[in-house]
Structure 1
């Protein structure tokens, strides 16, 4: 069972007889190609429950000023077609608004080793919940007229096939499984970023990523995915902790006493993450994997709507 070690990855409580502690389960959880069809279906189910939570940003003001006509892209909703302009020649066109042309929402989904953990209390590995949540949000936001994409992997698009596009890009991105920080991508000014991770990296590494993105005018949201066991450390007696990132092990003689110190440290770690987000005007959402993904998705939609309303 993965136990966060703030400032240095995650650990796992293991059977002393395990030869390769935790690796088989972690590698299985992170081998996403065969899981993607199921995760896509799950994300579609979640996004369909958010229909009433999708924010309406089509309002009077600069964001609705006409920007340009652009060719219709296969996969977009037919309702976006401007039939009067399209009737002038043999192509279909979309009337693009200024708001749509200059604002995008970018996702980064952590797929590093610690995200492969799942305890008996969870509904699945953290990485699966992160993917379902990211896909569902992207799908719902596109339905609401937004452009979304993956930082460093795809362009921002309003295609109705955004979930499939994101899934294909992630499966093809082998390097991303080793990174526990967003890529050095450069979103545009006033874009938004949604970073989904367990954020068990040192707080200063998280701060560096947030400061870099915020320094370009990007607003954003941190979504911390947490296994229930990582909240409470409900162990006693002797235990062996295994770090899924560094593969180091630690023998703990009194897990109950160690757990008390752990809970203090994890609370301090989260307080620091909240401070990092607050300093840049970002938000922090903590989501447990024993709770429905729709809870976090609806909260994020509300936060995105609030950010748009003040933009």
Structure 2
């Protein structure tokens, strides 16, 4: 798997998305042996450049092996991608990547996978400046639209108000909603949106994005922290505060995961220092269940 730093360094989101998706599928196949007693006469292993619409997604979800069907029987669905573009997503990890950079790469790769499968894919960029929404479509021009929207998205302000987000849940539409967010909120506004999406769409995959330096508190000595959404600053000794911080962080992560699963979301924690493969694997599994 290519690292997120290398993918970001390509400075070409369409190319990075394709490299990430096809590298993941090819690598997952190459790293596993075929199981005994399985019948492969109607399949062949995935190779880079193959038409992803012929992938057997059910087999992939069960076994993490990637094969193309020789007889084409496709299923498709609607995939609704959501990007949290509040200012906290500007937080930069030690590898130089912002959460926003990682989220762009991830959502572009998921859009590529879903579009190649024939799914109708839409995108909503959630920021206080207003809701930027591309309705789900399955035509050939949708993927460039999605890439452009992701490339030009900027993180700013706090998470948008319920009034701003109301159009997302104005009508019931069966879909798999995939939200990438760091879940920094003031009063449960992200949870409220996802709960409404769960009611109107049916399936929610919540990808909780955290920077590696947040997860490990890799800072040293005297540090000044600035809240990217409020502008407030805090000075502290990182070495002294590390044990208490990590304890509180783990408690928050446990409670966040428990609450998300109680709400019926498929929750997964992501580390911006790690490749995109874990998120893509969960997307394929959830896609199979939604289909």
Change (3 A) 1:236 1:221: same
Q: What is the SS of the residue equivalent to 1:234?
A: coil
- Cα distance per residue 1:72-108 (max 9 Å; x no partner): xxxxxxxxxxxxxxxxxxxxxxxxx9x75xx411011
Distance 2:23 2:138 in 1: 20
What per-residue deviation string (whole Å, max 9, x for no partner) do you get for residues 119-145 of structure 1? 32x362211110111011111012122
> TM-score, with normalisation over the residues of structure 1?
0.65
Describe the SS at the equivalent of 1:244.
coil
Question: Structure 2: which 5+ runs fail to align?
Answer: 1-8, 29-51, 60-73, 125-131
Task: Summarize the Cα distance change of 1:293–1:172 in structure 2 as closer, same or farther, 3 Å threshold.
Answer: closer
- RMSD over aligned Cα atoms: 3.0
Kindly indicate whether the alpha-carbon contact (under 8 Å) linking 1:138 and 1:162 is maintained by their aligned counterparts in 2.
no
Q: 1:129 to 1:161 in 2, by over 3 A?
A: farther
Answer whether contact 1:36 1:167 (CA < 8 A) is retained.
Answer: no
Q: How many positions carry a matched residue from both structures?
A: 231
- Cα pair 1:56 1:144 within 8 Å, conserved: no
Change (3 A) 1:114 1:227: same
The structural deviation recorded for 1:36 is 10
Cα distance between partner residues in 2 of 1:46 and 1:281? 29
For the pair 1:115 / 2:89, whether they are aligned, the reply is: yes
Of structures 1 and 2, the one scoring higher in RCO (CA 8 A, sep 6+) is 1
**TM-superposition CA deviations, 1:11-60 (whole Å, max 9, x none):** xxxxxxxxxxxxxxxxxxxxxxxx9962222112112224467664699x
* Matching residue of 1:134: 107
For residue 256 of structure 1, what is the aligned residue in structure 2? 239
1:124 aligns with 2:97: yes
1:241 paired to 2:214: no
CA spacing shift, 1:250–1:123, aligned 2, 3 Å: closer
Distance of 2:117 and 2:252 partners within structure 1: 35
- Sort the Cα spacing of 1:57 and 1:267 in 2 relative to 1 into closer, same or farther, 3 A: same
